Amino acid sequence: MADILIYSEKRDTARELTYRAKEFAGALGLGVSAVAFGPTSGEVAAELGAHGADTVYVSEDPALDGLQTDVVAEALAQVVRAAGATCVLVGSTRRGKELASRLAQKLGAGCVTDVSSMAVEDGALVAGRYAFGGNTVARETVTTAVKVFAVMPKTFEIGEPTAGAGAVVTPSLALTPSAVKVVDRRPKEGQAVDLAAAARIVGMGRGFGRREDIALGEQLAAALKAEIGATKGLADFQWVSEDRVIGLSGAKTSPELYVAVGISGQIQHTVGISSAKLIVAVNKDKDAPIFRLADYGIVGDLYVVVPALIEKLKAS
């Protein structure tokens, strides 16, 4: 039976994709297989089996060390051919996006990256992704025999594991180590916040005139027990760290409450807040596009409105 094949170097993402692939596979009459590479592959295989993979292909081939895209793509292509898979879902991390494209080229396949929604319609997988810089959502199918999709992490629920276990297969792979060598690998600094998981966020934009004024936004965030977020512009000024950026080049958030302060509402930012349950906007320009997205809007000077709001919140 042809399969949907899952791979992500991120374990959570692999579990999430496997869990949902089970549903797609059911609707399409396919099986689900998954792939795990490296020293933890046995452990990961058990996890993915419990999340719905019928078969998990594992390899600890030393050529895969460092996860260089050329070698991982070749390994996956060999597994796809051996398994007879017709559809590959990869996590759309930076590494995964690069991988999906090289794999697709090896397989003569069409590919959709940065997929943010997916469903089976009329017997085909339909992928949604932001297009035109976030202005629109394109719904696309892939028309080649093998199809590759890179799906954004956290697009689906991870789901509860079951007692089920998939068959574990160790395929014989013919791999040559990459010419690319890892000299150093270190964690990024300032990656402590996970805005995607925040319940309340105060977003700041260019309406803040000076670096010192960021403190005002932080006070509002404290009063709301909210995280701080920002537009790309403020990170470019280095007034906030990169991990605070929300939008196309940053986090996609879905808080209960998003308070946009001094944010005009350019699409590059607002794609990151459209899933918020409630949006509040404070801006001095009554025609700012952010007000079209807001549930509650205040036209006014943030330097007057925000202190007044902090006071009311403390009182209530």
Partner 1 sequence: MKIVVCVKTNPDLQMVRIKNREPVLEAVPYRVGDLDKNAIEVAIQLRDAAGEGTVVALSVAEANRKIKETLKEVLAMGADEAVVVADPALESADPGAVAVAIAKAVRQSGGCDLLLLGEGSSDNYSGQVGSRTAELLGLPQIGYARKITAGGAGIQVERSMDDVIETLEAPLPAVVTVVSEINEPRIPSLMNIMKAGKKPVTEYTLADLGLDRAAVGPQRHILSNLAEEQDRKRIMLQGGAAEQAEALANALIKEGVLER
Q: Scanning residues 176 to 195, which ones bind partner 1 (CB under 8 A)?
A: 178-188, 191
Instruction: Determine if 43 is a binding residue for partner 1 (CB under 8 A).
Output: no
User: Do residues 26 and 4 touch, judged by C-beta distance below 8 A?
Assistant: no
121 CB-contact burial (10 Å; exposed 0-12 / middle 13-18 / buried 19+): exposed
The nearest distance, CB 94 to partner 1, in angstroms, is 5
Structure tokens given for 257? 């409450």
Please name which of 40, 35, 39 lies closest in space to residue 73, comparing C-alpha atoms. 35
Query: Given the DSSP bridges, would you call strands 117-121 and 31-37 parallel, antiparallel or unpaired?
Result: unpaired
Candidate residues 2, 23, 60, 95; the one interacting with partner 1 per rule CB under 8 A:
95
> CA 98 → CA 8, 113, 149, 194, distances in Å?
12, 9, 12, 23
User: Do residues 90 and 103 touch, judged by C-beta distance below 8 A?
Assistant: yes
Element (H, E) at 56: strand 55-59
Which residues within the stretch 271-310 sit at the binding site for partner 1 (CB under 8 A)? 274, 277-280, 291-301, 304-305, 308-309
Which residues within the stretch 204-223 sit at the binding site for partner 1 (CB under 8 A)? none
Candidate residues 1, 62, 81, 135; the one interacting with partner 1 per rule CB under 8 A:
135
Instruction: Determine if 68 is a binding residue for partner 1 (CB under 8 A).
Output: yes
Interface region with partner 1, contact rule CB under 8 A, candidates 17-25, 46-54, 80-88, 92-100: 92-100
| CA-derived radius of gyration, the chain | 22
User: Do residues 29 and 3 touch, judged by C-beta distance below 8 A?
Assistant: no
Instruction: Determine if 123 is a binding residue for partner 1 (CB under 8 A).
Output: no
The nearest distance, CB 247 to partner 1, in angstroms, is 13
Candidate residues 33, 41, 113, 264; the one interacting with partner 1 per rule CB under 8 A:
113
Residue tagged 């005009």 (tokens) = 264
User: Do residues 74 and 81 touch, judged by C-beta distance below 8 A?
Assistant: no
Which residues within the stretch 149-178 sit at the binding site for partner 1 (CB under 8 A)? 178
Interface region with partner 1, contact rule CB under 8 A, candidates 28-36, 38-46, 64-72, 155-163: 64-72
Instruction: Determine if 40 is a binding residue for partner 1 (CB under 8 A).
Output: no
Instruction: Determine if 225 is a binding residue for partner 1 (CB under 8 A).
Output: yes
Which residues within the stretch 254-273 sit at the binding site for partner 1 (CB under 8 A)? 256-257, 266-268
The nearest distance, CB 257 to partner 1, in angstroms, is 4
